């Protein structure tokens, strides 16, 4: 009888794990995350700060502690993809927001390419945002 009880308990645990795993996969997906600009424009010039927010589109909540691993800032939206500028992460900001510093050497539209890893999710978030540098 003891063996029977253990077997039942084990089976119940397996079912619980299967259900738990399935519901987690259904609730969260890497495609449910996206970056958005806190401000759509900056002033052209050196050392301007750009703030982006990473949000879970299903919950509309900001996502803290993501690892941002790929960034590029160039003028592709204005046909100048070769005109790229260095972009440097800056610490601080509210949880779920990520700050960068860059020199916008020209007024116009700049494309910020961002990649991120989100804790507990497989895959990567890949987004391109367009910021307007104003004179
Ligand atoms: Cu340019």
Q: What is the CA(110)–ligand 1 centre distance, in A?
A: 8
Q: What is the CA(123)–ligand 1 centre distance, in A?
A: 32
Q: What is the CA(133)–ligand 1 centre distance, in A?
A: 10
Interval 10-41: pLDDT, tens? 566 555 555 554 444 445 799 999 999 999 99
Q: What is the CA(75)–ligand 1 centre distance, in A?
A: 6
Pairs from 54-57 (Cβ < 8 Å, separation ≥ 24):
54/96, 54/97, 54/98, 54/116, 54/118, 54/125, 55/96, 56/28, 56/32, 57/32, 57/33
Interval 40-57: pLDDT, tens? 999 999 999 999 999 999
Q: What is the CA(106)–ligand 1 centre distance, in A?
A: 5
Task: Using a cut of 0.95, tell me whether the model's pTM lies above it.
Answer: no
């Amino acid at each position: 009888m003891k063996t029977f009880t253990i077997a039942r308990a084990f089976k119940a645990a397996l079912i619980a794990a299967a259900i738990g795993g399935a519901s987690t996969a259904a609730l969260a997906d890497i495609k449910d995350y996206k970056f958005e600009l806190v401000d759509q424009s900056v002033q052209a010039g050196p050392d301007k700060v750009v703030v982006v927010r990473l949000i879970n589109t299903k919950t509309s909540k900001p996502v803290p502690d993501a690892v941002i691993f790929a960034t590029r800032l160039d003028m592709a939206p204005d046909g100048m993809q070769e005109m790229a500028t260095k972009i440097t992460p800056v610490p601080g900001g509210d949880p779920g927001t990520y700050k960068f510093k860059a020199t916008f050497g020209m007024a116009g539209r700049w494309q910020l390419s961002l990649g991120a890893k989100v804790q507990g999710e497989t895959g990567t978030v890949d987004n391109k945002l367009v910021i307007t540098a104003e004179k």
